[in-house]
Amino acid sequence: ISQISPSTKQHFAIDSTTGLITVKQPLDREFNPVHKLIVLASDGSSTPSRATVIVNVTDINDNVPSIDTRYIMNLVNGTVLLSENAPLNTKIALITVMDRDADLNGKVTCYTDHDVPFRLKPVFDDQFLLETAAPLDYETTREYAIRIVASDSGKPSLNTSAMVLIKIKDENDNVPVFPQPEIQLSIPENNDPGTQLIKISATDADSGSNALIIYSLGPDAPDGFNIDPRSGILSVVKRLDREKQEKYSFTVIARD
């Protein structure tokens, strides 16, 4: 008659006649990688014989890697706000990956799934720093949704992913631009004072208050002309006399 110790009966059974040991339910290496079975054999005598059976549970790739994201920069509604002037190697988050499997099944690689101006810099085997890897430009790309993938080396491989959302903050890094460098126009003499001549417009690639343009006349502008600082409308505020002066040349300045 053969039997096993009560502590192992949850997972194993033994045929009392043949001594064949069988598994009663699935084993989990991550919970218990080694089982020690005490087998008792008796022929009816008072003292049974004992044997120890060691069962080593081999690993299969049954655990998906995990990703833990710890942000170095403050979040606003779950999103990182990053200046477009952020220098290279600006640290954004510490990424930690883990896999409970063993050997290659637990060996994890971490990467971003598309080309972005950010990189994952290895710190340890299971930790990476997400940092800037190239200059940022708000006018080109205003936000990034970076998908970070953790993939193990099992066959077949298992993977998981996490998203990092980054919004680029505009900085005043673009000067206003006039569509043409020189404007020529004509006005009859003996005009009415206050006559509007032209609306001058410049553009600014920045946004918000960084793109708000203020117009003014340059120091070379003569008396008698005025420009509205907001609208850019150029006016003549006095009566002109061609016989006294037939041509005026001056600079208009646009500032954001």
For residue 73, being part of any structural domain is answered with yes
Higher pLDDT, 7 or 166: 166
Same domain, 51 and 72: no
pLDDT value at position 46?
67
Q: What pLDDT is stored for residue 174 in this prediction?
A: 92
pLDDT, averaged across the chain = 93
Are 74 and 49 within one domain?
A: no
> What is the model's pLDDT at position 179?
94
Residue 12 has pLDDT above 80, yes or no: yes
Q: How many domains does the chain have?
A: 3
Say whether both 31 and 88 belong to one domain. Answer: no
Q: Residue 35: which region, alpha, beta or left (left: phi > 0; alpha: psi -120 to 50)? A: beta
Q: How many CA atoms lie within 13 A of 40 on its CB side?
A: 12
**In this structure, is residue 190 part of a structural domain?**
no
Q: Report d(CA 168, CA 141) in Å as an integer.
A: 8
Q: What is the pLDDT of residue 40?
A: 86
Are residue 71 and residue 44 in the same domain, yes or no? no
User: What is the average pLDDT across 95-109?
Assistant: 95
Query: Does position 6 have pLDDT exceeding 80, yes or no?
Result: no
| 3-class SS of residue 78 | coil
pLDDT of residue 2: 61
Q: Is the pLDDT at 113 greater than 70, yes or no?
A: yes
Residues 6+ apart with CB under 8 A from 188: none
Digit-coded pLDDT (tens) for 114-149: 899 999 999 999 999 999 999 999 999 999 999 999
Per-residue pLDDT reduced to its tens digit, 44-89: 776 888 889 999 998 999 999 999 999 999 999 999 999 999 999 9
Same domain, 28 and 79: no
Establish if 23 belongs to a structural domain: yes
184 falls within a domain? no
Could you tell me which residues are beta bridge partners of residue 216?
Answer: 253
Cα–Cα distance between 71 and 129 in angstroms, integer? 10
Q: Which residues of 105-133 are buried (b: 16+ CB within 10 A; e: fewer)?
A: bbbbebebeeebbbebeeeeebbbbbbbe
Query: DSSP assignment of 129-175, as one string?
Result: EEEE-S---TTT--EEEEEEEEEE-SSS--EEEEEEEEEEEP-S---
**DSSP for 16-72?**
TTT--EEE-S---TTT-SEEEEEEEE-SSSSS-EEEEEEEEPPP-S----EEEEEES
Say if residue 209 is in the same domain as residue 140: no
Range of the domain at 41: 2-56
In a domain, 25, yes or no: yes
Please give the residue that has the higher pLDDT: either 220 or 10: 220
> What is the per-residue pLDDT for 41?
87
> In this structure, is residue 114 part of a structural domain?
yes
In a domain, 185, yes or no: no
User: Considering the domain boundaries, does residue 177 fall inside one?
Assistant: no
Cα separation values, 18 from 1, 13, 48, 248, Å: 8, 12, 16, 116
> Each residue of 156-180: pLDDT tens digit?
999 999 999 999 999 999 999 999 9
